Amino acid sequence: MNKNFTRLLIGSGESSPEIRYLTGISTPDDFICFETPSGVTALMSKLEISRARSCAKPGVAVLPESDFGTSRQEIITGAAKIFNTNCFEVPPEFPLGLAEKLNASGIKLHVSESDFCPGRRSKDKQELQAVIDSQRAGEAGFSRAVKVLEEATISPDGLLIWNGETLTSEILRAEIDCTILKHNALPTGTICAGAKQSSQPHNQGSGPLYAHTPIVMDIFPRSSVSGYWGDLTRTVVKGKAPEIVKRAYEAVKEAREYAKSKIALNVSCASIHLAAESILEKHRFFTGTSDGEPFGFFHGLGHGVGLEIHESPRLSPRSKDILTGGEIFTVEPGVYYPEWGGIRLEDLIYLAPDGEVHCLTRAPDFLEIF
């Protein structure tokens, strides 16, 4: 933090990780928050003030915004007088329209050049436990999916049948997601993509599921209580897997394990990505573009997980991030080919400040389900 500035944020507790991190308050609508060296002040609407007071982090002052004005501009200029400043430090995401209005009222904004909440990257014990809780919710969802796939039968034309009807991505996703809900977490976009849909890493999956082709399940629940995420991917096949799918599965698993073995303090995130890539290439799973569509391993190896599902550090070839300890991040190599689909295997890692590497994922590794 630049000590010369009072810091100003605006956002909803649900969508702004910074504002949630600083205040502990989760709201559907935007609110205004100030940080000075002496503490954090959140200005709330009448609708939210009681609830905000009951869930704010210790030491956060919660005041009614109506004491300062009605529009966002009025509230901020009103508060500026209280803080005895006409200059605030803001995060890069601060809205330009409001910034221009504030400028016109004589308020100067200085965009923070470094991370606005650098403390977010290194997780404390409570944050680690919050991520683990969400991860367990996701794992319970995965176990449920495996049970459904075990119970499913294969029709003569290769369709999966469960509970007397065709098993679809939608049905399998609802089974996973209901399990997650019962673990006090929200499933927000669970991927259950079968066959060729699995060759698009972010395709959620729709329609009937088939035997003998990959089903990618990427499960990322967010705790309804803490707001912290978990993240887990496994790829399975109902029945016997084709040779190419088996080979890809083994290569991706080896890439994941090799990448994990490279994790240590002071290591560059780019080098961990490249380690995974080298294993995939060794197994002749190449990356490129065909007719404008990418194939192979064309996403980053991983990303930090916390109050955002994708946050710092980034594990990608161009990342400049260096591991310093305390980070929680995914290691999720994958290969994708439009001809037969995709394989992705994702573990969640905690690099302790002492350098010890903890895999937070307990879901087992297997390809075929009979």
Q: Does 109 bind its own copies (CB under 8 A)?
A: yes
Cis peptide bond prior to 338, omega within 30° of 0: no
Q: Which amino acid is at 71?
A: S
Q: Which stretch binds its own copies (CB under 8 A): 232-240, 264-272, 286-294, 343-351?
A: 286-294
- Which of residues 173, 234, 256, 273 is near its own copies by CB under 8 A? 173
- Closer residue to its own copies, CB minimum distance, 206 or 261: 206
Strand arrangement of the beta sheet that strand 39-44 belongs to: 61-64, 39-44, 30-36, 6-12, 87-90, 108-111
Q: Does 115 bind its own copies (CB under 8 A)?
A: no
Q: Which stretch binds its own copies (CB under 8 A): 123-131, 198-206, 252-260, 352-360?
A: 198-206
- Which of residues 174, 267, 274, 357 is near its own copies by CB under 8 A? 174
Residue 337 CB coordination number (10 Å): 18
**Site track 330-359 with its own copies (rule: CB under 8 A), x = hit:** --------x---------------------
Q: Cα 282 to chain center, whole Å?
A: 29
Any bridge partners for residue 336, and if so which?
296, 342
**Site track 212-251 with its own copies (rule: CB under 8 A), x = hit:** ------------x---------------------------
The continuous run of DSSP H or E covering 43 comes out as: strand 39-44
Q: Which stretch binds its own copies (CB under 8 A): 25-33, 122-130, 272-280, 357-365?
A: 25-33
Tell me the backbone φ, ψ of residue 91, rounded to 5 degrees: -75, 160
- Closer residue to its own copies, CB minimum distance, 155 or 289: 289
What are the structure tokens assigned to 239, written together?
Answer: 């029945």
Closest distance to its own copies from the beta carbon of 282 (Å): 22
Question: Residue 12: is it exposed, middle or buried by C-beta count within 10 angstroms (0-12/13-18/19+)?
Answer: middle
Closest distance to its own copies from the beta carbon of 206 (Å): 8
Helix, strand or coil, per DSSP, at residue 130: helix
**Listed residue (202, 140, 193) closest to 170, CA to CA:** 193
Residues 6+ apart with CB under 8 A from 121: 115, 304, 306, 311, 312, 313, 324, 326, 327
Q: Does 178 bind its own copies (CB under 8 A)?
A: yes
Q: Which stretch binds its own copies (CB under 8 A): 23-31, 76-84, 145-153, 227-235?
A: 23-31
- Residue 141 and residue 179 in contact, taking contact as beta carbons nearer than 8 Å: yes
Residues near its own copies, by CB under 8 A: 14-15, 27-29, 46-51, 54, 64, 70, 90-100, 109, 111, 170, 173-174, 177-178, 181-182, 184, 186-189, 199-204, 224, 289, 292-294, 298-299, 309-310, 318, 338
